[in-house]
């Protein structure tokens, strides 16, 4: 009966495309009624290509009701009854807007009292992670946005059951959405029959990304050789570009992305829905350059303040403040100067308009936009859409619908893409609410090697414990690094890999990606193994592994980590990003823990002007140590205003020293202000890796079942309990 109801709701249509082997599962094309008519031939060809090349059974679901809950119910039923492994949402399919789940994003922390369109997370995890539970909140009046709140009794981590993708053309740019759709589907079908091997990689670092660390960029190249070891035998297979290489870096990057042979591009930069922020005003090399640099910078400052006071007095004030002649700034409001400055600014970054203005047609088949908001598919246009709907050959893009974290494993399992894995699975393993595959999620490359298992068949049955045992027997250290990573994860999920095995992999694997996988899985373990793993990884030879370990020190706060933290802190030559994160970690330890370890570690160092260096580093410790402890005191003190409380409570999500968590626990259980209790419990839920996590969970469980607290408080305490005890990321 359930299946019959679903068929009636959706008009489930099978185009006669059946898999050659049911081992590869079922794939669903979910499309709105108008798009199904306008692109009928192209959709049929697309379905047939998936069935022929990827050997999946393909179902086409026409969405006649435009309700996310109904689509989700259908997909879940197909997953349970017909082996659904993936889906693509084509055209005007409703957009779930998720609230009360910012802990499932990598970086998004906007005040939810702001406009719901901005403070909610557009996310298709609603459709592909069936373990999540939501309460429906309503629909936007002027957009296909459906708002949902993540329930306290829901699973509090992400582990999608199927892979998904979005193909959502709009009428932006003067081209009909249906023409864009038809053109894109033809491109996607063409790509399936090309038998393309992933053998050309490009990566880019933009202004301010990863602290502009040269070591991070160097080690990233080594990581690509681990992901794609066959590239070691190829010539000029990996290219790199840094924003500082060229004043006209935008054009240079666009030229690289238009290479017809380019397979994969990973672009690290800042962003917005309509901009890739690539560069900055070039640092001066000559006296004339210096003058131009100063004048342009000061003109910008003057214009930003121009409406606040008279122009002449403002120019005079800025000239005096920076001790420059007034004549340097006299043309600041001249139309020609304003135009010249705006043009110079526009040349720094890639804007949506540049796709048409420059005739930019990216040909790179698969692009990872490691930037904020570039994947905002819910808007009328976005950067990711511009890539796939251009006349170039780009078929799939990964991007974030809101802002994203810089220190994340952006290329997790990307090596499996080179071994034939569907592009949609790359996004599955990101485990972030905002991350989306824009384009065809079944896009894949042809594996250049024969001595590997069929990755997609593995993943179709990845919840199978029998498969985990097979992996345990057959995947050894001689296997491809990313295959080893996947095997470790599947074995760990199946209970077939313990902490000792993970520590062994972390300490002995020659591959950085395997060591990083082991470290991440150790974060899910109870007991001392996680602390031991962090202590080991702090001195890993790979920058990314080391950087993640430093961040885990900050997130864990165990006093036993102070000694290795100080050993790394006194080192003379660590990467810029690791140094930045080291100084962030100081905030979570008191001086009395850090300074004795500093003195001990620094005594063994050899430095010129050692006393000055010691004072410099001690000042950093004294400034950083327990830096937010004063805010905790303010939070606990009587007489705090509601506005002040809201600000500090929001900061406590990230900046509460672990030693002060017991104080917060006592406060949240004794204050009689419901709204304060809710906000503190929400903040405490962020400390999933803390050495105080067990104490948080124990108190949260007690409160969640205590009728003396209000339902709202009990609900938030339950959510925090589940967040702490289900730490799976």
CB atoms near residue 612 (< 10 Å): 10
Between 667 and 310, residue with greater pLDDT: 667
Residues 253 and 293 placed together within one structural domain of the fold: no
Domain's final residue, options 309, 328, 346: 346
Greater pLDDT, 572 or 475: 572
Query: Across-strand partners of 139?
Result: 146
Work out the percent of the chain whose per-residue pLDDT is above 90. 86
Q: Is residue 35 part of a domain?
A: yes
> Tell me: the pLDDT tens digits for 512-529?
999 999 999 999 997 899
Q: Which domain-ending residue is among 144, 168, 185?
A: 185
DSSP-derived secondary structure for 328-385: GGTTTT-HHHHHHHHHHHHTTSEETTHHHHTT-----SEEEEESSSTT-TTSS--HHH
Tens digits of per-residue pLDDT, 107-159? Answer: 999 999 999 999 999 999 999 999 999 999 999 999 999 999 999 999 999 99
Distance CA 413, CA 345 (A): 37
Residue 609, in any domain of the structure: no
Domain contains 10: yes
**Residue 16: pLDDT band by 50, 70, 90 thresholds?**
very low
Instruction: Provide, rounded to the nearest whole percent, the portion of the chain with pLDDT above 70.
Output: 94
Asked if 117 and 249 sit in the same domain, the reply is: no
Of residues 305 and 567, which shows the higher confidence score?
567
Of 471, 513, 512, 477, nearest to 494 by C-alpha is 471
Q: Does 650 fall in a domain?
A: yes
Q: Is residue 121 within 8 Å of residue 93, measured between CB atoms? A: no
Asked if residue 143 belongs to a domain, the reply is yes
Contacts of 198 (CB under 8 A, 6+ apart): 228, 263, 264, 417, 418, 445, 448
Give the span between the Cα atoms of 265 and 369, in whole angstroms: 8
pLDDT at position 308, please? 56
Residues 261, 131 share a domain: no
With 0-12 / 13-18 / 19 or more C-beta atoms within 10 angstroms meaning exposed / middle / buried, residue 232 is: exposed
List pLDDT tens digits, range 216-237. 999 999 999 999 999 999 889 9
Instruction: Report if residue 540 sits inside a domain.
Output: yes
Co-location of 156 and 197 in the same domain: no
pLDDT reading at 12 higher than 50: no
Q: What is the pLDDT of residue 6?
A: 39
Task: Summarize pLDDT for 651-673 with one digit per residue, the tens.
Answer: 999 999 999 999 999 999 999 99
C-alpha 372, offset from chain centre: 8
Contacts with 265 (C-beta within 8 Å, 6 or more apart), sequence order = 201, 202, 203, 204, 256, 257, 364, 366, 367, 368
Query: Is residue 622 situated within a structural domain?
Result: no
Task: Answer yes or no: do 153 and 269 share one domain.
Answer: no
Q: Are residues 371 and 307 in the same domain?
A: no
Average pLDDT on 70-82 reads 97
Which pLDDT value is given to residue 539? 98
CATH number at residue 527: 1.25.10.10
**Could you say which DSSP state residue 212 is in?**
G
**What is the pLDDT of the chain when averaged over all its residues?**
93
307 and 224 within one domain: no
Q: How confident is the model at residue 475 (pLDDT cuts 50, 70, 90)?
A: low
CB of 70 closer than 8 Å to CB of 23:
no
Count of structural domains within the chain = 5
Same-domain status, 8 and 125: yes
Q: Which SS3 state, helix, strand or coil, does residue 146 take?
A: strand
Band of pLDDT at residue 166, cut at 50, 70 and 90: very high
Indicate which CATH number applies to the domain containing 385.
3.40.50.1460
**The domain boundary residue, chosen from 560, 589, 618:** 589
pLDDT at 5: 34
Rounded Cα distance between 180 and 183, Å, is 5
Q: What's the rounded Cα separation, in Å, for the pair 517 and 485?
A: 6
What is the DSSP-derived secondary structure letter of residue 500? H
* Same domain for 254 and 403: yes
DSSP class of 51: I
Q: DSSP 3-state assignment of 37?
A: helix
Q: Is 53 helix (H, G, I), strand (E, B) or coil?
A: helix
Q: Is it the case that residue 11 has pLDDT exceeding 50?
A: no
Reference 438, options 166, 182, 178; nearest CA is 166
Between the CA of residue 601 and those of 273, 582, 620, what are the distances in Å? 46, 15, 15
22: pLDDT strictly greater than 60: no
Residue 472 has pLDDT above 70, yes or no: no
> Do 237 and 309 sit in the same domain of this protein?
no
Q: Report the C-alpha dihedral over residues 675, 678, 679, 683, rounded to 10 degrees.
A: 170
Q: What is the mean pLDDT of residues 256-261?
A: 98
Place of tokens 């080291």: 582
pLDDT value of residue 312: 86
pLDDT at 307: 61
Look-up of token digits 């003195």: 599
Buried b (16+ CB within 10 A) or exposed e, 475-492: beeebbbbbbbbbbbbbb
Question: 341-376 pLDDT, tens per residue?
Answer: 999 889 999 999 999 999 999 999 999 999 999 999
> Which of the two residues, 7 and 425, has the higher pLDDT score?
425
What confidence category does residue 473 fall into, taking pLDDT thresholds of 50, 70 and 90?
A: low
- Give mean pLDDT, residues 691-718: 98
Q: What confidence tier does 9 reach under pLDDT thresholds 50, 70, 90?
A: very low
Q: Which range of residues forms the domain containing residue 685?
A: 629-725
Judgement on whether residues 124 and 250 belong to the same structural domain of the protein: no
The span from the CA of 262 to the CA of 387, in Å, is 14
Q: Are residues 400 and 335 in the same domain?
A: no
Kindly state whether residue 606 falls inside one of the protein's structural domains: no
């Amino acid at each position: 009966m359930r299946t019959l109801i679903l068929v009636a709701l959706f008009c489930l249509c099978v185009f006669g495309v059946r898999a050659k082997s049911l081992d590869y599962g079922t794939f669903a094309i979910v499309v709105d009624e108008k798009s199904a008519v306008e692109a009928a031939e192209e959709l049929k060809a697309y379905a047939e290509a998936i069935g022929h090349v990827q050997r999946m059974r393909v179902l086409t679901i026409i969405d006649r009701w435009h309700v996310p809950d109904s689509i989700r119910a259908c997909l879940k039923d197909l997953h349970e009854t017909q082996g659904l492994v993936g889906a693509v949402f084509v055209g005007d399919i409703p957009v779930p807007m998720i609230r009360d789940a910012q802990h499932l994003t990598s970086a998004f922390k906007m005040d939810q009292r702001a406009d719901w369109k901005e403070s909610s997370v557009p996310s298709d995890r609603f459709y592909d992670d069936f373990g999540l539970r939501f309460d429906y909140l309503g629909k936007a009046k002027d957009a296909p946005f459906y708002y949902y709140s993540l329930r306290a009794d829901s699973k509090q981590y992400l582990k999608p059951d199927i892979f998904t993708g979005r193909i959502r053309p709009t009428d932006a740019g003067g081209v009909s959405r249906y023409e864009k759709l038809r053109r894109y589907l033809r491109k996607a079908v063409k790509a399936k029959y090309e038998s393309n091997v992933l053998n050309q990689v490009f990566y880019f670092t933009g202004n301010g990304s990863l602290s502009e660390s040269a070591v991070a960029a160097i080690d990233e190249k080594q990581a690509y050789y681990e992901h794609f070891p066959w590239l070691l035998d190829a010539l000029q297979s990996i290219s790199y570009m840094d924003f500082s290489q060229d004043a006209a870096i935008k054009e240079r990057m666009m030229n690289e992305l238009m290479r017809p042979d380019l397979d994969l591009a990973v672009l690290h930069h800042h962003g917005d829905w309509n901009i890739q922020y690539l560069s900055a005003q070039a640092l001066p090399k000559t006296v004339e350059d210096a003058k131009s640099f100063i004048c342009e910078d000061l003109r910008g400052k003057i214009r930003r303040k121009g409406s606040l006071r008279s122009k002449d007095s403002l120019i005079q004030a800025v000239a005096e403040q920076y001790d420059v002649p007034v004549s340097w700034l006299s043309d600041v409001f001249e139309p020609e100067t304003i135009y010249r400055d705006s043009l110079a600014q526009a040349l720094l970054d890639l804007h949506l308009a540049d796709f048409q203005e420059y005739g930019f047609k990216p040909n790179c088949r698969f692009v990872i936009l490691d930037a904020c908001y570039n994947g905002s598919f819910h808007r009328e246009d976005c950067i990711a859409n511009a890539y796939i709907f251009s006349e170039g050959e780009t078929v799939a893009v990964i991007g974030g619908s809101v802002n994203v974290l810089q220190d994340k494993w952006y290329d997790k399992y990307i090596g499996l893409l080179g071994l034939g894995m569907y592009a949609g699975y790359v996004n599955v393993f990101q485990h972030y609410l905002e991350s989306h595959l824009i384009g065809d999620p079944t896009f894949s490359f042809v594996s250049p090697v024969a001595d590997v298992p069929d990755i997609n068949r593995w993943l179709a049955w990845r919840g199978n414990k029998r498969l985990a045992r097979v992996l345990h027997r057959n995947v050894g250290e001689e296997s491809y690094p990313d295959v080893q990573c996947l095997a470790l994860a599947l074995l760990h999920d199946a209970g077939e890999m313990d902490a000792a095995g993970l520590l062994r992999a972390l300490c002995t694997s020659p591959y950085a990606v395997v060591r990083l996988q082991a470290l991440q899985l150790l974060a899910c373990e109870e007991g001392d193994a996680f602390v031991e793993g962090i202590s080991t990884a702090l001195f890993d030879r790979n920058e990314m592994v080391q950087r993640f370990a430093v961040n885990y020190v900050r997130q864990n706060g165990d006093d036993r980590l102070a000694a290795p933290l100080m050993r790394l802190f006194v080192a003379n030559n660590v990467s810029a990003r690791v140094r930045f994160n080291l100084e962030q970690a100081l905030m979570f330890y008191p001086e009395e823990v850090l300074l004795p370890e500093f003195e001990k570690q620094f005594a063994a160092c050899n430095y010129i002007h050692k006393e000055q260096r010691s004072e410099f580093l001690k000042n950093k410790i004294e400034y950083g140590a327990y830096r937010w402890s004063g805010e905790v005191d303010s939070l606990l003190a009587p007489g705090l205003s509601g506005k002040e409380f809201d600000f500090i409570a929001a900061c406590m999500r990230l900046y509460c020293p672990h030693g002060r968590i017991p104080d917060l626990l006592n406060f949240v259980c004794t204050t009689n202000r419901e709204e304060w209790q809710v906000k503190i419990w929400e903040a405490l839920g962020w400390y999933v890796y803390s050495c105080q996590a067990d104490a948080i969970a124990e108190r949260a469980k007690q409160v969640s079942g205590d009728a003396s607290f209000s339902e709202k408080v009990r609900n938030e305490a339950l959510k925090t309990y589940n967040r702490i005890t289900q730490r799976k990321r």
